Amino acid sequence: MPTPKKGPRLASSPAHERLMLANMATSLFANGRIKTTLPKAKRLRPLVERLISFAKRGDLHSRRRVMRVIRNKSIVHKLFTEIAEQMEQREGGYTRIIRVAPRKGDAAPQAIIELVTEPVSPKQAVVKEAEAAAKTAAAADAEVSEQAVADASATATEQAVEADKANAEAVVAEDKATEAEAAAATEE
């Protein structure tokens, strides 16, 4: 079991903090971005990324686990249909935290946390495509090499059979030659 975080919580009790983070996650999925304090944004990020990972799985158990945190069914539906599709190519890093000017009054550090909706960079996409092409090429090479081995073994077998026939013919010719010599010797 992980040790609890030390120091004061974001709210008065663990239950209040959990509910506050659930409400902020619901707002983030509904609007795409929210403005909050920096410590709250940093505490929200792991929760949101875990929920998006569940949504990418898409099975019933994952949906029920997300429903434990987010109680609004329409937001859960949006998460599983729209947001999960947008994040399909990503392997993490679904959110972005941008620091903004401190809040007037108490000078609390403010931040905007938003979902990263841009597609994966073209460079990363090209690298992934190249890796996939290399895997398929390696599989094709393995298949071709297996076929080449099979062809080579078939050719070697054919050559061995032909060599055996040639040896048999040579033995038969040798036997005929010795018989002819024996017949010639008996006639003399």
Shared domain for 18 and 111, answered yes or no, is: yes
pLDDT for 153 beyond 70: yes
Rounded Cα distance, 53 and 99, in Å: 25
Mean local confidence (pLDDT), 152-175: 78
Q: Give me the number of domains the chain comprises.
A: 2
Tokens of 54: 């569940």
Residue 9 lies in a domain: no
pLDDT grade for 71, boundaries at 50, 70 and 90:
very high
CB 94 within 8 A of CB 84: no
The separation between the first and the last C-alpha atoms of the chain, rounded to the nearest angstrom, is 109
Q: Does the pLDDT of residue 7 top 70, yes or no?
A: no
Q: Looking at the predicted structure, is the pLDDT value of residue 180 above 90?
A: no
CATH label of the domain that carries residue 91: 3.90.1030.10
Q: Check if the beta carbon of residue 54 is closer than 8 Å to that of residue 66.
A: yes
| Domain final position from 97, 118, 139 | 118
Q: Which of 118, 144, 165 is the last residue of a domain?
A: 118
The predicted pLDDT at position 124 comes to 66
Question: Which of residues 6 and 10 earns the better pLDDT score?
Answer: 10
Question: In terms of domains, do 107 and 25 share one?
Answer: yes
- pLDDT the model gives residue 188: 62
Does residue 7 sit within a domain?
Answer: no
Last residue of a domain, one of 118, 133, 164: 118
* Residue 162 confidence (pLDDT): 81
Q: Does the pLDDT value for residue 187 go beyond 90?
A: no
pLDDT of the residue at 167: 77
Domain membership flag for residue 84:
yes
Q: What's the domain range around 170?
A: 121-187
Judged against a pLDDT cut of 90, whether residue 62 lies above it is answered with yes
Helical segments of the chain, H only: 14-31, 38-57, 60-69, 73-78, 84-86, 122-187
Q: Report the chain's mean pLDDT, rounded to a whole number.
A: 86
Angle at 133 between CA 129 and CA 138, to 5 degrees: 150
DSSP string, 94-110: -EEEEEEPPPTTT-PPE
Contact 87, 52 (CB under 8 A): yes
Distance between CA 35 and CA 113 in Å, rounded? 6
DSSP run (H or E) holding 78: helix 73-78
- Note whether 66 and 51 are within 8 A (CB): yes
Cβ within 8 Å of residue 38, ≥6 positions away: 97, 99, 108, 109, 110, 111
| Matching residue, tokens 């949504």 | 55
pLDDT in tens, 25-58: 999 999 999 999 999 999 999 999 999 999 999 9
Q: 132 φ, ψ to 5°?
A: -65, -40
pLDDT in tens, 84-143: 999 988 888 999 999 999 999 999 999 999 999 888 776 666 777 778 888 888 877 777
Q: What span, in angstroms and rounded, lies between the C-alpha atoms of 159 and 153?
A: 10
